[in-house]
Chain A
Amino acid sequence: MRKIALTMVLLIASLMAFASGAAEDDGSVITIWHSNSGRIGAAFETLVDRFNDTIGKDNGIRIEAIYQGAANDVLTKVKAAAAQDQSSLPDIAQMDATAALDMKNADYLVTAEETGADISSILPSAIEALNSDRGLLAVPFNCSSLLLYYNKTVFEEAGVEPPRTLDEFASIAEAISQKDDNGKIVRYAFAGVPTTYELGAFIGAQKGLSYMVDARNGHFGIPSKVLFEEEGTFRNFLEHWKSFYDTGYVANLTSGISDEFAAGRTATMLASSSNLSTVIATVAGRFEVGTAFVPAVDEEATGGVNIGGGALFSFSDSEGVRLVLEFLTSPESQLYWAENTGYMAINTLLYDTDEYKRFLDDNPQFAVAMEQTLSSNPEVVGIWLPSAYQIYYSFQSEIREVTENGKDIDKADSDMAGIIGRAIDEYRTQNGL
């Protein structure tokens, strides 16, 4: 028994000894927390390996890339780390626009300018998406835009073109959907419930440029009021969306939409261009996948879409961080990244190269996102709000209430404005404004 006890003590001591995963922080390891999984994750790992084998090797630095779940999981991790032990922060974290407001106020953030990274050749609208009164918060990396994915085979059979507006969408809804012998819909025209991301485009594009809240959607200063209610942009969207829904061929799904699309149970969906390679792979040749511009709310909604996706937020200004940022946004990396994911290549030096042109020619679906972005008003930007999570769900449930339960559109509009207004007020109080 005594021997057993002694062995146990020794065993525990030895196990605890190699139990620490923390690397020595002498600046030679650049830690990146990211949210790339699946195909996108594999492409990211390849980029990391490339860096480690070339520039990294020459400069004695190495990237350690750690997957932390979805983009908002990365934000949770970053905030938890920052709140307690800032040394546990990574050097770089890849996050999306929901992180922007928190990061703008975070003293531990090192802005893109402060990292010294060369951003001169990055696409202006990608820069605009992250620009703020504090400067450029992060270096754009995985930029995407909202796209209309459609089942090209179905569209061709029905002899219709992708819709340019929601009204057009409503008029073709019947043609692209399908019922079985019992009259049950087996293929919807559209599946999904728009929320913050989609509304960024649906509201932002109206009258050429509209903001949901002041301070240019919260980018410059702290927003103080909701704009969409007095400008009627959300109401306008709801009206058009409601008549689209009333065709009876829209399924109000909030999850598993990609699967429905891949299985041919919905003819279209709105999704980020970043899903492109995954969608094509899941469809696995059962039909042809097409992509098109996001339908505008009405003829006057000409602003196009905002840039979504994510960016690299830095928490260290070391030389290594600068090298990594420049590597990941270099023409070569961005080309590889675009080819393998569906994100847009955002290094403008790339646009005139033959390689890039060939890639777009060969993959017209990938080219659409870029065309759409270049034809959009760069000032259409995503919204930065406190309580983004709550607002995301509120948009969906208001839209659902309007479409399914006949909630009054004006009421939904003012309720939504109320929810965002309260979130803003609370945030201002918390920050002593």
Chain B
Amino acid sequence: MKGKSIQPYMLLLPAILLASAFSIMPFMRSLVLSFLRITPRGTIIGPAGFDNFISLFRDAAFRDSIMHTIIFIALFLPLNTFLTLLAAILTRRKRRYGAAFEYIFFTPLAVSMAAYAMIFSEMFRGRVSIINRIFGTEIIWLDSPMTAMATLVMLSVFLDFGLDYMLLLSSFRSIDRSMIEAAEIDGAGGLRMLFSIELPQIRPMLLVTVFMAAKDAVLISAPVMVLTEGGPFRSTETIMYYYYLEAFRSANVQAGRAISVMMVAISVLLMALAGRRRHE
């Protein structure tokens, strides 16, 4: 449509206003202000160069939080990918009772973060927890750094499971039937079919899920808040949980802004990687 009318602008106006007010402007503000020196009362004193970033990195707790986030991702990503992919592979064909299992693997979608986190904290609570009873262990899961991190990882797998499973399942189902049938005529068995025909077909979607999960994992904070509050000994404090503490609890807004800028940079990086992978 041609025309000098203001119509398209009017149609776009609400979207532009909201995108500017709650995404672009806040980011720009963070970006600019993170390079300035500002008093706790909000008066701008002058340029700060990279001082806000430097003092952030000088805080051991922040460096630790980066480490915790990396450990978290290193554990979460493979486990999450493996389990969701396994579930999708096991249920990819329509079979008798298949719908029931499909439903079961969907159920995590219906359970909210806070609900899961609270159930997990009961399942792993104290020495006499149901998990310890089942496995005959004596671990006080949320009381030592390594096991608390493990619990957080397990919780996070549940939080992402429903959606990731569903995406993988639907991409398995959208593989062209004729390819599978052709392979069957060639006498390809179940496993060979899976590895040589199906997995390559869903690879793009698998990569997207992995990158999306990576992005979620980099930004993890709310489950930490509800499950461990960063403890024990700040050992499950992730970057974004640290951000929350600095920006809101310690009112150290400048540190918060520096983190904002870095997190956006990381997110750009991840999305760019995801995009490139997709187009390969």
Interface set of A (CB-CB < 8 Å, partner B) = 72, 75-76, 79-80, 83, 102, 253-256, 259-260, 263, 265, 387, 389-390, 393, 396-397, 400, 430
Contact = CB atoms under 8 A, between A and B. Distances in A.
B249 A254 contact: no
A253 B233 contact: no
Nearest to B140: A253
B251 A430 contact: no
A76 B256 CA distance: 14
Given A79-B248, A79-B251, A393 B126 contact: no
Given A253-B140, A397-B233, A260 B126 contact: yes
B233 A259 contact: no
Contacts of A265: 127-128
Nearest to A390: B61
A256 B126 contact: yes
Contacts of B142: 255-256
B117 interface: no
Given A259-B125, A259-B126, A265-B128, A72 B232 contact: no
A75 B143 contact: no
B108 interface: no
A389 B245 contact: yes
Contacts of A76: 248-249
Nearest to B125: A256
B127 A430 contact: no
Contact of B232 (A79, A255, A390, A430): A255
Contacts of A75: 249
Contacts of B250: 387, 389
Given A390-B234, A393-B233, A255 B143 contact: yes
A263 to B, nearest CB: 7
12 contacts: A72-B249, A83-B42, A83-B253, A102-B251, A253-B143, A254-B233, A255-B232, A256-B142, A265-B127, A389-B245, A396-B232, A396-B233
Nearest to B253: A83
Interface string B238-265: 0000000100111101000000000000
Nearest to A75: B249
Contacts of B128: 263, 265
B277 to A, nearest CB: 39
Contacts of A254: 143, 231-233
A255 B253 contact: no
B40 A80 contact: no
A256 B251 contact: no
B93 to A, nearest CB: 40
B246 to A, nearest CB: 11
Minimum-distance CB pairs A-B, first 7: A256-B126, A76-B249, A397-B233, A393-B233, A79-B251, A254-B232, A393-B234
Nearest to A431: B40
B139 to A, nearest CB: 12
A400 B249 CA distance: 26
Contacts of A396: 232-233
Given A265-B128, A389-B249, A430-B40, 20 more contacts: A72-B249, A75-B249, A79-B248, A79-B249, A80-B251, A102-B251, A253-B143, A254-B231, A254-B233, A255-B143, A256-B140, A256-B142, A256-B143, A265-B127, A387-B250, A389-B245, A389-B250, A393-B234, A396-B232, A397-B233
Interface in B133-190: 140, 142-143
Nearest to A260: B126
B127 A260 contact: yes
Contacts of B125: 256, 259
Given A256-B126, A260-B126, A393 B251 contact: no
A83 B61 CA distance: 24
A76 B250 CA distance: 8
Contacts of B126: 256, 259-260, 263
A79 B233 CA distance: 24
B123 to A, nearest CB: 13
Given A254-B232, A265-B127, A397-B233, A83 B251 contact: yes
Interface string B116-136: 000000000111100000000
Contacts of A390: 61, 234
Contacts of B253: 83
A189 to B, nearest CB: 15
A260 B233 CA distance: 20
Contacts of B249: 72, 75-76, 79, 389
A390 B246 CA distance: 11
B19 to A, nearest CB: 20
A393 B248 CA distance: 19
Nearest to A394: B233
A72 B140 CA distance: 25
A387 B249 CA distance: 10
B230 to A, nearest CB: 9
Contacts of A389: 245, 249-250
Contacts of B140: 253, 256
